[in-house]
Structure 1
């Protein structure tokens, strides 16, 4: 199946795709072709190289769509070795060597260690923007910044020439964990660097081009309180505008700069406009061990200042992901029912630097969970929380956290919603499903705990072993087709709860996987969840 690589605005009516046209190796190689949309002619641009003990990742293209490098992952040998198939422990970056026409391995990145990730070429097609730490080709560190900075690297001299941007609290981007939210803004057609965009608690912009700055700030002023994204035409005189906020879903407009008019194109879920939603507030506080943490608190739309209200702790999944500012349907479900919601980007969440990430090593149910509690305690100190009415609800890792909460902190949480969450770290690590298979297990061994060497740690961090501590009510949700967190986890939990005579509610759907997608199932799920919370939170 062909996949889009680049829409090539600098080459009208042409796009780049990746597709396998090698009949002898249909399962492996994805070569890059330029497609002429007028003639449907395909021209080979780059053939995926044959790599020994490595799995090809993606191409690094310059501004003329010429392959100048590529990424790969480690893909070696037996499971017993540290570097097993696609283990996620190593990523490599190659650059083109003009001298002999080969690709030279420049950077070797170990999981959770300092690394440099190429992003895009400057318009001279010599200097390469990249994010992370300035790691020289010989492995030495040119400069260490903890949070990922934006650098400029000279591909000819193989040296770093400039630290373009650095925020001491937030990563510019974090490609290692799929958190690709930092961008070098480029006008490809006119070959101009427009600025930078990255994420703190909200999206931020830094401008290099004053005309672009004037246009964007002018558009933003027309939509106060909204997050605004713009997609310009080649001539920079027409723009597709998308606006959204914590209380509004996406609205799309067409803006004609020359005429000065804005035309509505589409509103997503316009029927929600008649409802009032809760305001999402970025927060920050210090954890008990001194680590600075960030997150969000959402209060009901009719909240009266100085009132203590029932609260829901709502941890994100991953765990190496993060919560972001914006309209979150589940959060707004809670807020519009009168509950406050606290979302903590606990240690190990993406976007906050290496120290923050590595503080989560082997801290499941420990420091990672303490961060959730510290967020709740912070909100209580601010005068928002009725501590006699607190529940915890989350999905995936968040579901695991909910189970830890109701077993480890039974005196704090009156109820818990475990939505597709893990309950037994030992059994999940031995599962042959894809997430904990040979491909991913070594990375989990490093982050969560080794399935053999850290067996005792994993046992202590498994909520299945502490079900006798449960005092509050539990609601369990899972899909039979789940390949991230095996359905066997919920069966193990169900059997253990029934053996101990512990009451619980559960909803299992055979046509769902890692989260419900069918509208009828979601309607039933959130109807039952609303009843469950209403029964437990006064």
Structure 2
């Protein structure tokens, strides 16, 4: 099958390559909500190990299902090799240059309607030798071309590894996740699977309850991390001389305290890269680790000023070429001079975007994959030919988005009342950036990094409607150093909340925000912070929007008889008492910081939304608070998406929700 033209050549002088003019635009209608919250049209592509072929998702216009296509980059011929009548293609990887593995998913089902696991399938790039490898549920899910029986299939809890392995045979390693009879995750076995005949060559011996596996530079299992008793995790190394496991370090599971390092990857000649704190530094960096000597290098290989290391090593042909890393945005530091020169060349062709280069595993072809993005540009994927110096557009995530209508996003810092420096993301609508209605958008987690410099649909949608958006990386957030993270322990509703308040007042003092028109909003922990913000700062926030938010800390411990929670007993025993609060020792604090017990204090207009199938923050968090607050506050709106889980998977629900948010905000702090 051939689609022509599947790939469109871009002129170097084209608008995307050289950038849209940032001059004042002629009056345009506001971009539709669907442009922000529909599913992305394109989600990326994967080069084969040689770089001769490109695997992509291709949309079937009649069934509207995602299919798996392979592009021969020599001829640009496209062949669809994987498709389902009742599902979409999920994840996919190259096994070798001839064969791929893939899973199934369903973009049209939310969490409450999901009945199947991803399954696992393999096929050659020419469409031959199809084989189902794992079930999607308790029964085999056989598609055309398979003659398997149920006994030959792996169980439904078989998953792809994030690492691809050596990609030089028909074998891959897959994860077999084991659960208890009550559905609680226990550990992960690692299986070596032949993708041609579906047979497993045994299970890799575990030193304990493994939850993480790492392959070495030859694609063999070399490291595992285990969940141990007493709330600790251990890191084990598998000695290639005798296949015996040796413990390297351990640390507290939920706080991260202790431990010499965390593993990153194995590089050329077995070099082991780890993340650890440099002496005297608050942030983490990359070091090499001598396993035989049990010692890290004295100096870091990669250190990022003001940021903990997050990223990966780039290795090709047994040589370290560079490092991908996250600072304010994703970027690459090349150690290879030729790759550094190539990056500079592509950056000149695409001067208005961050441009990440992905290389095939082997240097056999001139093709390089380029992912380009900016705060005003959603991701676009291109191919660059090093012989012709031509860029070719493969696909765009949100092609209807006009960068000229988007808002710039900046990382700022402000001081909390105790002197701690708080990072925050500030998005200002195009045009005048003073005295604006402000949305304080609080990220969930809370023990995660909230944002990065890229196009974000929520902040951009709000900015397109005339609102300034402030997203604080309050204490407890990760990625900015240990001090900021640890300062959030047991600070729900206390100093974590103060950080959000201090950021709001900073925006007012800087002249960005109109003090009379400020709304606080967020999901999950951000929903909790929204409720606590309305309670603690009634004169600061004029309204609140919260979805899937925690309303009662004690309910996180006890759950509800009818609604299941995915919080494990282990987390309740070892994690929550340290991170959030001990139910007995901190009982009075938890009462004071549980919004449900203070619902009568919320007098401002409030919009609440919950998913009926949510297992992270079950529905009673919403219904109990709604029933309580309605007794004293008539200006509360309720939305329930019965089939949704912890957030909105379906585009129709995202579009509906943000349409209601737009009306609510216009009514209460109107942008115009």
> Shared fold by TM > 0.5?
yes
- In the alignment, what sits opposite 1:237? 366
3-state SS of paired residue (1:205):
strand
Matched, 1:119 2:251: no
Structure 1 CA distance for aligned equivalents of residues 616 and 232 of structure 2: 22
Cα distance between partner residues in 1 of 2:397 and 2:305: 36
SS of the equivalent of 2:301 reads strand
Q: Give the CA deviation at 1:40.
A: 4.0
What is the CA deviation profile of residues 180-218 of structure 1, one whole-angstrom value per residue up to 9, with x for unaligned ones? Answer: xx211211xx11111222212122332211111111222
**Structure 2: 5+ residue runs without aligned partners?**
1-155
* Counterpart selection for 2:418 from 289, 299, 310: 289
Classify the secondary structure of the residue corresponding to 1:499: coil
Q: Summarize the Cα distance change of 1:419–1:469 in structure 2 as closer, same or farther, 3 Å threshold.
A: same
Q: Which of 353, 356, 373 is the equivalent residue of 1:226?
A: 353
1:248 pairs, out of 344, 369, 377, with 377
Deviation of the 1:465 alpha carbon: 2.5
Q: Kindly tell me: are residues 370 and 434 of structure 1, through their superposed partners in 2, closer, same or farther at Cα, counting changes over 3 Å?
A: same
Residue in 1 aligned with 2:571?
A: 440
What per-residue deviation string (whole Å, max 9, x for no partner) do you get for residues 250-301 of structure 1? 2121111111111111122322238601111111222221212212100112
Question: Is the aligned partner of 1:262 residue 2:406?
Answer: no
Higher RCO, 1 or 2 (CA under 8 Å, sep at least 6)?
A: 2
CA offset at residue 387 of structure 1?
A: 0.7
Contact 2:250-2:258 at 8 Å conserved across structures: no
Superposition deviation, residue 12 in structure 1: 3.2
Matched, 1:152 2:288: yes
CA distance in 2, matches of 1:249, 1:13: 36
Answer yes or no: is the 8 Å Cα contact 2:604–2:635 preserved in 1. no
Deviations 1:501-527 (A, max 9, x none): 543111012111111222222222111
Aligned runs of 1:59-70 on 2, under 5 Å? 59-70=213-224
Contact 2:444 2:524 in 1 (8 A): yes
Change (3 A) 1:258 1:9: farther
Is 1:33 aligned to residue 192 of structure 2?
yes
1:517 and 1:19, CA in 2 relative to 1: closer, same or farther beyond 3 A? closer
Cα drift, residue 358 of structure 1: 0.7
Q: Does 1:278 align with 2:434?
A: no
CA distance in 2, matches of 1:382, 1:435: 42
Which residue is 1:44 aligned to?
201
Aligned pair count? 498
How far apart in 2 are the matches of 1:400 and 1:28?
31
Q: Which residue of structure 2 lines up, in the alignment, with residue 137 of structure 1?
A: none
CA RMSD of aligned residues (A): 2.5
Distance 1:19 1:338, change over 3 A: closer
- CA contact 1:387–1:412 (8 Å) conserved in 2: yes
**Partners of 1:41 and 1:475 in 2: how far apart?**
51
Aligned mates of 1:274, 1:101 — CA distance in 2: 54
Which residue of the partner structure matches residue 176 of structure 1?
Answer: none
Structure 2 match to 1:79? none
The more displaced of 385-394 and 146-155 is 146-155
* Partner residue of 1:300 out of 399, 424, 429: 429
Partner residue, 1:130: 274
Distance 1:318 1:9 in 2: 31
- Kindly provide the CA deviation profile for residues 429-449 of structure 1, in whole angstroms up to 9, marking residues without a partner as x: 221644433032121111000
Aligned to 1:94: 236
* Structure 2 CA distance for aligned equivalents of residues 520 and 147 of structure 1: 41
Aligned ranges 1:374-453 → 2 under 5 Å: 374-431=502-559, 433-441=564-572, 442-453=574-585
CA distance, structure 2, for counterparts of residue 424 and residue 509 of structure 1? 21
State the shift of 1:498 in Å: 2.8
Aligned to 1:524: 656
Q: 1:434 to 1:132 in 2, by over 3 A?
A: farther
Change (3 A) 1:46 1:151: farther
Contact 1:48 1:56 in 2 (8 A): no
- Measured against aligned partners, the alpha-carbon deviations of 1:468-492 in whole angstroms (never above 9, x if no partner) come to 3323200000011111111011111
1:146-225 correspondence runs (5 A): 146-162=282-298, 163-173=300-310, 182-187=311-316, 190-225=317-352
Instruction: State TM-score, norm by structure 1.
Output: 0.87
Q: Which residue of 2 aligns with 1:534?
A: 666
1:7 & 1:424 partners in 2: Cα distance? 39
What is the deviation of 1:42? 4.9
User: Does structure 1 conserve the Cα–Cα contact (< 8 Å) formed by 2:577 and 2:583?
Assistant: yes
Q: Is the 8 A contact 1:119 1:130 kept in 2?
A: yes
SS, match of residue 240 in structure 1: strand
In 2, Cα distance between equivalents of 1:511 and 1:451: 32
Question: Given the two structures, how large is their TM-score scaled by the length of structure 2?
Answer: 0.70
Is the contact made by 2:189 and 2:203 (CA closer than 8 Å) also made in structure 1? no
8 Å CA contact 2:356–2:372 kept in 1: the answer is yes
- Give the structure 2 partner of residue 16 of structure 1: 172
- What per-residue deviation string (whole Å, max 9, x for no partner) do you get for residues 405-439 of structure 1? 11110100000001110111122222164443303
Contact 1:8 1:15 in 2 (8 A): no
Deviation at 1:242, TM superposition (A): 1.6
Check the 8 A contact 2:159/2:176 in 1, yes or no.
Answer: no
Matching residue of 1:178: none
Does the aligned pair in 2 maintain the 1:410–1:471 contact within 8 Å? Answer: yes
Question: Which consecutive unaligned segments of at least 5 residues does structure 1 have?
Answer: 77-82, 84-88, 135-142, 174-181
Q: How far apart are residue 28 of structure 1 and its match? A: 6.1
Greater Cα shift, 511-520 or 358-367: 511-520
- State the Cα deviation string for residues 60-82 of structure 1 (Å, max 9, x = none): 321112222211112x4xxxxxx
Counterparts of 1:56 and 1:383, CA distance in 2: 52
**Match among 467, 489, 496 for residue 368 of structure 1:** 496
